[in-house]
Amino acid sequence: MARDHARLLVSTWDDAEFVSLTTSAQSVYFSLISSPDLSWCGVAPLLPQRLIRNAADLTERKVKQAMADLAARRFLIIDTDTAEVLVRTYVRHDGILKQPNVTKALVRAMDRVHSEALVEVVKGELGRLLTDEPDHKGWDTIRSGWPELFAELHAKASPNPSANPSNKPLRKVG
């Protein structure tokens, strides 16, 4: 099941940190969340050269700088060793866990991520979501289909989970 749309929350414009980004950083962020390359768990190939096609004035240097700015503010987590980028809050904001079949696609997508550090961040975000939204239908899908994963997410679920639960250093675009 391929993604055919991206969810843009109106509340994005109420986020002081997001509105303090440059237009280039915002454009790169929107390019990533609407990219057909973005998986159901929020990971895409780290290919800045693909994003320059999305605006006449974007260059690879500008995209890399925007990605670095987004990573510095934890909108993105970048693993240069595996050439992957994670839109950190994608699974929280796209409503994936509200739909059992899409939840299955999320778990399968996690299995295709090469970066262990990025998978750990996704699990941390899922743990936060389990704390905040325990009634989503997708939790039953994970609980029944991937009980070990559910147990791990349940263990991560707490009021203040670490944004980097693996405590592994995360690499960024340079």
> Which domains does the chain carry?
10-88 (1.10.10.10), 91-156 (no CATH)
CB-CB neighbours of 16 under 10 Å: 6
> For the chain, first and last CA: distance in Å?
34
Q: Which DSSP string corresponds to 106-157?
A: HHHHHHT---HHHHHHHHHHHHHHHHH-TT-THHHHHHHH-HHHHHHHHHH-
Q: What is the model's pTM?
A: 0.86
For the stretch 99-152, pLDDT in tens is 999 999 999 999 999 999 999 999 999 999 999 999 999 999 999 999 999 999
Residue type, 65: Q
| Residue 152 to residues 100, 114, 120, Cα–Cα distance (Å) | 19, 19, 10
pLDDT at 160: 52
